[in-house]
Structure 1
Amino acid sequence: MTTIVVIAKECLPGQVKTRLSPPFSPAEAARLAAECLDDTLSTVASLPASRRVLFFDGIRQPSAASRLGFDLLPQVGGGLDERLAHVFDVFTEPMLLVGMDTPQLCPADVAAALVSFAPGTVGGVDCWFGPAADGGFWALGMREPRGDLVRGVPMSRDDTGARQRHRLVEAGLSVGTLPVLTDIDTVAEASIVAATAPDSRFAREFRRLTVGRPA
């Protein structure tokens, strides 16, 4: 089976989703981030996995994580590439990492990776890559996790995804591609995701906060 890891940070005003303010207040942006995380945790909890882990930056973990059976792994210091590399160094069984910023995530989006990593699968690829619409990535899976395949990749750029995928291919690994998803940083992206997944917790909160708000 596969370990599925959700990377997330504590949803505190002024520390998450800062590009949503304005028009939203820091507290509202934090609530939207919390709903993103809860949606993601709920979806991951429904997936077939040997272990589910919340790779968390913060003090108070979301109540949904313990309720849904997630183990907690505190994030280490350093840049995002170092933190991601750390989690790929910790685990030895097939591992799929997903971010907290795609509340529209559904089981079909990662089905190919989980089937490929299942025990006894013949011809499964080495890695799975989930490209984000902004040029980053929302998911990264490895049959044999290796932090060195992530460490040093420049993060938070419009070519981060391309650079990460190139790193995998350059190492001689086969790479499967998951669907492109929009992760949420801006209000425009939030609006797209809310329309894509109208029944999500995030979409309901987004609609609640935008009703009557000046355009």
Structure 2
Amino acid sequence: MSTVLVVAKAPVPGLVKTRLTCSYSSVDAARIAAAALRDTLTAALAVPGTRCAVALGGRLEDAVDGSGLRRLFDRCDVFGQSEGGLAERLVAAHRRAAELGDGPVLQIGMDTPQVRPELLALGLEASRRSAALGPAEDGGWWALGVPEGAADRLACLLAVPMSTASTGSRTRRALADAGLVPQELPELRDVDRPDDVRAVAAACAPDSWFRRTAETLRAEQERCA
């Protein structure tokens, strides 16, 4: 069975989306993160014939919307993230997800709440043959898929600097060097900075948690202006 792997942080105020706090309070930044995670998990759980696995960092008990998220997590295979930097945690999460069963694994984060189940299914299908990589507008990537049995080859990520403008291109080269020439998925914008919130919300469905949260926070800011 194919697996959508979500690598996420519990939306705890002060510990998530800290780059948003120049325009939002730490609690509101965590509300944005919680909404993004809700939409991401909902999309992952809606992909037919797949399981959803979550590599979770932090304590859900301390998170904004912990009870609502818990209901979604109860439908997933949840395990803690490993120690180390981002690359080390991604590699370990892929290995753990691969142990859950056969089939390709498509890993995403919680920063692209506009993602649709159809796009995740496309990424999984591409990952059956070699690899899939979804570029992000900022030069990084939002999705990485590999076929069954290829998790160990993702050790190539350990040589790639993460969270830079060249992370996407360097990841693409590293995968190719490891024999996993990636098929490119559509580019998405992820939520890192305040300007991203409105842009990504506009790409979400009208009834999505992220769009409704962004619109609520915008209205609150306008009332206080």
TM-score exceeds 0.5: yes
Residue 155 (structure 1) aligns with = 162
Long gaps (5+) in structure 1: 118-123
Q: Residue 79 of structure 1 is aligned with which of 72, 75, 85?
A: 85
* Unpaired segments ≥5 residues, structure 2: 61-65
One-letter amino acid of the counterpart of residue 145, structure 1: A
Amino acid at match of 2:129: V
Instruction: Tell me the CA shift for residue 22 of structure 1.
Output: 2.3
Q: Which amino acid aligns with 2:202?
A: A
Identify the structure with the greater helix proportion. 2
- Give the aligned partner of residue 211 of structure 1: 219
Alignment of 1:97-136 (within 5 A): 97-117=107-127, 125-136=129-140
Q: Aligned partner of 1:209: which letter?
A: L
* TM alignment of 1:1-215, pairs within 5 A: 1-60=1-60, 62-67=69-74, 69-90=75-96, 91=98, 93=102, 94-117=104-127, 125-143=129-147, 144-146=150-152, 147-199=154-206, 200-211=208-219, 213-214=221-222
- Given that 1:16 and 1:33 are in contact with CA atoms closer than 8 Å, whether structure 2 keeps it comes out as yes
Taking the aligned partners of 1:131 and 1:116, their CA distance within structure 2 comes to 14
Report how many aligned residue pairs link the two structures.
208
Change (3 A) 1:198 1:111: closer
Q: Secondary structure at the match of 2:175?
A: helix
| Displacement of 1:212 | 5.3
Alpha-carbon offset, residue 198 of structure 1: 4.5
Whole-Å separation in 2 of the counterparts to 1:142 and 1:129:
9
Aligned-pair identity in percent equals 38
Letter in 2 for 1:58: G
Distance 2:180 2:139 in 1: 21
Task: Tell me by how many angstroms 1:179 deviates.
Answer: 0.7
Which one-letter code corresponds to 1:76 in the other structure? S
Q: Normalising by structure 1, what TM-score?
A: 0.90
CA distance in 2: counterparts of 1:18 and 1:114, whole angstroms? 31
Q: Quick one: which amino acid aligns to residue 134 of structure 1?
A: D
Q: What are the superposed Cα offsets for residues 166-192 of structure 1, whole Å, 9 maximum, x if unpaired? A: 101122323111110111011111111
1:29 CA drift (Å): 0.5
Q: Which whole-Å CA distance do the structure 2 matches of 1:165 and 1:49 have between them?
A: 28
Q: What residue in structure 1 maps to residue 63 of structure 2?
A: none
